[in-house]
Structure 1
Amino acid sequence: MQLQQLLKSLELRNHAPTENWDPPYCGEIPIHIDSNGEWFYQNSRIKRQRLVKLFASVLVVEDGDYFLVTPAEKVKITVEDVPFIITGWQAVTTVEPQIIQVTTNIGTQYPLSDDYPLLVENAIPYVRLDHALKAKVHRNVYYQWVELAEVDPETDNVVLQSGSSRFVLGQI
């Protein structure tokens, strides 16, 4: 598989064209996403993954506030940290250099790259996704990456390589 084919296939994530819609703001609804990426409606966990994926497909962030946007309405929801969690990853070795492909808690996949970079904010690793959304890297994934990463002898940074991109996980 060529790099461009991989990137193209991973881009088929089915986010609605929310950028083309300008619906009226209709207030806040009792949906919230906790710090583990779990979605709740009126404090009851939403257990249907397909419903969570549907909501995620119309989720946008504007100035730190989160909204569900449809052609007819825009409603605010509450998000404790970020809406998604990176729960898995795999090394795609069919391209050189290998690429790290991450998977979120709703099953979407992204290549860790300059387009979807690893960011460390307040010692917490995140991956920036489409539409300015972010996913927090699960602790297990982070520890696996630390084992895979290499130390840059000049800076003592722990660096993770994905394709031609390098990301700092932390410092020794």
Structure 2
Amino acid sequence: MPYEPPPELAALSLGEVAELVAARKLPPVSQWSPEAVGDSEMRIAADGRWFHQGGEIKRAAMVRAFASLLMRDEDGQHWLVTPSQKLSIDVDDAAFIAIDVKQEDGALAFRLNTDDLVIADAEHPIRAEGDPDTPALYLGVRGGTEARLNRSTYGQLAEIALAGGDLSVTSRGTCFSLRPA
């Protein structure tokens, strides 16, 4: 069955985003504890491109498949996890890039470079890093992984915050500061 990406974020209601998020069947990587541990020889660049043994993985379907197997441990190491193997993967910054945001009904929905949809909330927090001159915003995705907001999405979120009169945003009842600590 060919992959059909979700419609543009602007065309979706918050309810439709929530339905698509709930319908996405992801592997239960947090439940797997494989004994075989190794190195995937893969890297995710800061711009979201994936590489294997130095060559770029250009097939979006492969990137989506690998991304569904990602997790990050408490030490910050990213892993590709299957029932039989746990392979380290180098991540320059964040495993995903948030490429769009939409505000509706007190919630913020994000689209990632892998076509994943994430609604910010207590389980998917927004955090600010860096300093006032070079800030960076991140969104919790799943399994400890994060998405860094790209420049345009950062700008969209800043406009939402400024419209509220503060440098913070609220999504599903949780307030997130956009100021680096």
Aligned to 2:47: 36
Aligned to 1:12: 23
SS of the equivalent of 1:131 reads: coil
The separation in 2 between residues aligned to 1:147 and 1:5, in whole angstroms, is 24
Is the Cα contact below 8 Å between 1:16 and 1:57 reproduced in 2?
Answer: yes
CA deviation string 1:140-162 (max 9, x = no partner): 11112112213777xxx512233
SS of the equivalent of 1:11 reads: helix
Query: Quick check: which one's strand share is greater?
Result: 1
Structure whose alpha-carbon radius of gyration is higher: 1
Is the Cα contact below 8 Å between 2:121 and 2:172 reproduced in 1?
Answer: yes
Which one is further off, 76-85 or 25-34?
25-34
Shift of 1:167: 1.7
TM-score, normalization by structure 2:
0.80
Q: CA RMSD in A?
A: 2.4
SS of the equivalent of 1:120 reads: strand
The separation in 1 between residues aligned to 2:154 and 2:85, in whole angstroms, is 37
**Which sections of structure 2, spanning at least 5 residues, go unmatched?**
1-11
In the alignment, which of 46, 51, 70 is matched to residue 59 of structure 1?
A: 70
- How many residues get paired? 164
**Deviation above 2 Å: which 4+ runs of structure 1?**
1-9, 11-15, 150-153, 161-166
In the alignment, which of 27, 34, 41 is matched to residue 23 of structure 1?
A: 34
Aligned to 1:105: 113
**Which sections of structure 1, spanning at least 5 residues, go unmatched?**
none
Aligned to 1:161: 170
SS of the equivalent of 1:81 reads: coil
1:73 pairs with 2:85: yes
Shift of 1:39: 0.5
One-letter code aligned to 1:14:
K
The separation in 2 between residues aligned to 1:8 and 1:136, in whole angstroms, is 24
One-letter code aligned to 2:177:
V
CA deviation string 1:91-148 (max 9, x = no partner): 23xxxx3321101100000112222111112231100111111110111111121122
Shift of 1:11: 3.2
Aligned to 2:154: 142
Is the Cα contact below 8 Å between 2:97 and 2:149 reproduced in 1?
Answer: yes
SS of the equivalent of 1:47 reads: coil
The separation in 2 between residues aligned to 1:138 and 1:147, in whole angstroms, is 14
CA deviation string 1:13-58 (max 9, x = no partner): 3321112221123321211000111111111111111101111111
